[in-house]
Structure 1
Amino acid sequence: MSESKPRRPAYARLLDRAVRILGVRDHSEQELRRKLAAPVIGKNGPEAIDATEEDYDRVIAWCYEHSYLDDTRFVTRFIASRSRKGYGPARIRQELNQKGIARDATEQAMRECDIDWGELARDQAVRKYGEPLPSEFSEKVKIQRFLLYRGYLMEDIQAIWRNFTD
């Protein structure tokens, strides 16, 4: 007969999950809290963790104390990652807001990042529509709509044609 092992305390199980989650990539505090609160899929299906709010707070505090959780590092890496994927500053700000990052932390990181958004917008337009960029109004509107969707600012989009030479 199999004897069931006694379960570890909720705090220890939460801490293990937090370290595993943060070992994959950086997360914001809000993301980590959401993932920790999600039910764990066990052998018998989803299992809720019987943890108190104090357990969650202790785990988050431990992660900050041991530098597993760092919102500044998360924001910096997130901006770099999303800009490499071709997204503009407006879209990145919106996504960071959804992830629970404070607006002032986002703005600080955006000022400190060394990204030429105008050049990035031009690269995205060329990648999508080819070189040379179309000069017809209807085609320019398509490019503008595409870049706005990707999160670029209108001034960066308009700079593409201001700096455009035939």
Structure 2
Amino acid sequence: MSSEKASSQKVIDLKRLLEEVEQNSESTLFAPEKKEGDTAKINVLMNRAMRFLSQRDHGEAELRRKLLTPPVPFVKPANKKSSWSARRKPEQNDFADEVIEKAKPEPRPVPEEISEEHVQAVIDYCYQHHWLDDAKFASRYISGRSKKGYGAQRIRSELMQKGVDKETITAALEATEVDWCVLARDIATRKFGENLPTDWKEKSKVLRYLLYRGFFQEEIQSIYRDFDD
């Protein structure tokens, strides 16, 4: 029981640190080096989270994975300074035969380990401010990918790879207004022309293409039923 109390107290302390970051009039959200300890580390993670979320929507699992991955430290490459003696004419250069060693690049610093508790605190903060919502993320993702011509099967697979749970994906797909049969027909005619091929060899190309785009067999067969009618 004592360990559980200690763990819950740690989460409470982290949330207080987040509130401190938000309420501090001289917030170091964009200048984390000015503070020390957990607050500075959470500031860094918060800054990264906002940068990721400002670029595009993220699900919780994808954002968590990115935050737990230490960023690669940037090391400025060493400038190659030309030697004054090397620029002189050979007859004026007393050091023409001298070997000039290239400056070695500085070694990259080892990334600091990221605390899962800090990441969880940032995730909770994002939920509290409605920056994270897996249901809305799945819905917007389905809308965006379907407009690019991808079927429900492929979109489902991509969302699962991003860590969205099956129930959320299923609910979002059921709620969408996309007519997958109509979309399959549009994608096929865009690729192969209005008069779709009917001989087996050419027809199989349409089948493989639409399967690759993530459409189900039933949806692909429906466009030929409509075509035959």
- Structure 2 residue 179 is the aligned partner of structure 1 residue 116: yes
* Deviation (angstroms), 1:133: 0.6
1:81 aligns with 2:144: yes
CA distance 1:158–1:43, change in 2 (3 Å): closer
Give distance in 2, aligned partners of 1:14 and 1:90: 34
Percent identity at matched positions?
Answer: 46
Q: Is the 8 A contact 1:10 1:50 kept in 2?
A: no
The answer for unaligned runs of 5 or more in structure 1 is none
Structure 1 runs of 4+ with >6 Å offset: none
Root-mean-square deviation (CA, aligned residues, Å) is 1.7
Aligned to 1:34: 65
**1:40·1:49 contact (CA, 8 Å) conserved in 2?**
no
Larger radius of gyration: 2
Which residue is equivalent to 1:20? 51
In structure 2, list runs of 5 or more residues that go unmatched: 1-32, 76-107
Taking CA–CA contacts closer than 8 Å with sequence separation of 6 or more, which of the two structures ends up with the larger relative contact order?
1
User: Which residue, 124, 133, 157 being the options, matches 2:220?
Assistant: 157
- Cα drift, residue 77 of structure 1: 0.7
**Deviation (angstroms), 1:131:** 1.5
For residues 55-74 of structure 1, what are the structure 2 equivalents within 5 Å?
A: 55-74=118-137
> Structure 2 vs 1, CA of residues 46 and 156 (structure 1 numbering), >3 Å: closer, same or farther?
farther
Contact kept in structure 2, 1:27 and 1:69, CA below 8 Å? yes
TM-score (norm 2): 0.67
Please list the CA deviations of residues 15-41 of structure 1 after superposition, one character each: whole Å capped at 9, or x if unmatched. 111011111111011111121122224
Does the Cα contact within 8 Å between 2:153 and 2:214 map onto a contact in 1? yes
Give the Cα separation in 2 of the matches to 1:151 and 1:61.
Answer: 34
1:85-104 pair list within 5 angstroms:
85-104=148-167
Matches within 5 A, 1:115-134: 115-134=178-197
